[in-house]
Amino acid sequence: SESVLIVGAGHAAGEMAVALRVNQYVGDITIAGDEPHLPYQRPPLSKAFLSGEISHERLHVKAPATYDNANIRCLPNTRVTAIDRVAKTVTTADGRTLGYGKLVLATGGRPRLLTLPDERIHQAPNLHYLRTIGHVDALREQFVAGNRLVIIGGGYIGLEVAAVARKKGIDVTVLEAMPRVLQRVTAPELSEFYARVHTEAGVKILVNTALTGFEFDAAGKITTVLAGDGLKIPADVVIVGIGLIPNVELAEAAGLAIDNGIAVDEYGRTSDPDILAIGDCSSHPSAYAGRRIRLESVPSALEQARSAAALLVGQLKPYNAVPWFWSDQYDLKLQMVGLNQGYDTVVLRGSPAARNFLALYLKDGALLAADSVSRPQEFMVAKKLVGDRIKVDPAVLADETKPLKDLLA
Ligand code: FAD
C-alpha cells in the first residue's frame, strides 16, 4: 500500500503531512523527528517565545489534534540514522526499521558551531546556540535582567535576541567579525539603520571584531569573552548565532546528489525519484535567481512542502516563488523580498529617521529586491513588483506622492 515517511518534524514536515491529507492522499503518513516535540515554529524562539510572551502551545505548526484527526502518525524522539534505498526502509537510532513508499527528507539544519580550538567551549554551561525549544529552555534562567550577555554574530538571530534582551534589561554586546551587521543579507543603508536602532536601545555593537577566545572559571563557566586586539568583555552568558549547516549527511550517505543542500528539482524530487527533500535542508533551482539556491525561511519551507504534497497526489505544482523573509526587532517589522546581490542602485522610499521606509534594489533598471521596514502594505506591492522584475525609474520609486501600486501591471 502507499505510504509517506517524513524524516524531521519541523515546519516543512508539519505542513507537508497535513497538505497531503488536504489533497486527499489516502496512504499512511508518518513523521519521524528527533526532537521530543510535534512540529513547531522556530521564528518565535528569538522573539516572543524567548521574551516569554508566548508559551510552548503557541509554537505548534498545526494544533496537536490535527495529526490524530488526519490520521498522521507522529514519532517524536526518533532519529533516522540510515536509508536503504533498495529495500525502501530507514533505520532509527534505537534500532527500529521503518518502511516507505515515498520518503521525504525535512531535516532542516543545525547551528554552525564555534571552531576555536578549546574543548571547554563545548562544555560551558553559559554558552548557547539557538535553534530548538531545548536551546531556549537551557538559556532561560540566565536570560535575566542584570546579566551581561555577549552575542557572537550580528545576523538576524543575533539582532533579534539583542532586541529581546534589551527589553528585559539585560546588558548586551554584539560581536560582529564583518564591517557591518546583517552584511550577508542586506545593503549598507539597512545595516546602518539597524546598527543605529540597536545602539539607541543600549546595545553595544562591535563590528570588525572577531572572537578570539574565552576565559573560564574553575567550574568551566565562561567569565570573559576575548575579541579583536586584546579586548576583554566580561560575560555572564554568551549566545552564538553564526549560521546554519544544512542536515544533508543522511542523504549524502545514501548516495543522493548534494549541492549546498540536498539537491532537488522544482517539485522537490532528489536524484532518487522515491525520495523528496523540502525546507532548509534542500537546494532547488530558482527561476528568479537563475541558479540553484538554498533558503532558510518559513515561507519557502511551507511552499516547498505544498509543492511536494501536490506531487505525491499526481499534481505538478512547481515551487518557483521569489524568496522572501521577515525579521522582528523592537517595534520594527522588517520584510525582505528577492536577493539583492549584484544590485547597482538602491532607492530609499520614506524615512529611516521615522523608522518607516523601503529600500528598493535595482539592477540594469529593473527591480531586483526590496526591504521594507514597517510598511507591510507597500511590501505586499513590492513583492509583486519584484516578482515581475519591473523596469522603473528610480525617481518614481522614491516619490511618495506616487503610490507603488500604480506600477502594477
Ligand atoms: P526545521 O524546522 O529545522 O526542522 C527539521 C527537523 O528535523 C528538526 O527538528 C531536526 O532536529 C530534525 N531532524 C534532523 N535530522 C533528523 C534525523 N536524521 N532524524 C529525525 N529528525 C531529524 N524564518 C523566517 O522566515 N522568518 C523568521 O523570522 C525566522 N526566524 C528564525 C529564528 C530562529 C531562532 C531560527 C532558529 C530560525 C528562524 N527562521 C525564520 C528560519 C525557519 O525557522 C526555518 O526556515 C524553518 O524552521 C525551516 O523548516 P524545516 O522544516 O526545513 O527545518
Is 260 in contact with 252 (CB distance < 8 Å)? no
Across the range 277-283, mean pLDDT stands at 98
Grid cell, residue 177, equals 567579525
What pLDDT band is residue 131 in, cutting at 50, 70 and 90?
very high
Backbone angles phi, psi at 383, to 5 degrees: -60, -45
Average pLDDT in the chain: 97
Q: Is the CB of 17 under 6 A from ligand 1?
A: no
Residue owning the nearest CA to atom 3 of ligand 1: 108
What pLDDT band is residue 409 in, cutting at 50, 70 and 90?
confident
pLDDT the model gives residue 303: 97
Least confident range of 83-87, 155-159, 338-342: 338-342
Residue 13 Cα to ligand 1 middle (Å): 10
DSSP state letter for 124: -
Residue 12: pLDDT over 80: yes
pLDDT the model gives residue 1: 66
pLDDT the model gives residue 122: 93
Residue 301: pLDDT over 90: yes
Is 313 in contact with 16 (CB distance < 8 Å)? no
In tens, the pLDDT along 222-248 reads 999 999 999 999 999 999 999 999 999
Pairing of strands 332-337, 324-329: antiparallel
Q: Given 3-state DSSP classes, what are the helix, strand and coil percentages for the chain, each rounded to the nearest 5?
A: 25, 30, 40
Residue 280 Cα to ligand 1 middle (Å): 7
Residue 247 Cα to ligand 1 middle (Å): 10
Residue 212 Cα to ligand 1 middle (Å): 29
Q: Is the ipTM, as predicted for this complex, more than 0.90?
A: yes
Across the range 64-85, mean pLDDT stands at 98
Q: What is the percent of the chain where pLDDT is above 70? A: 100
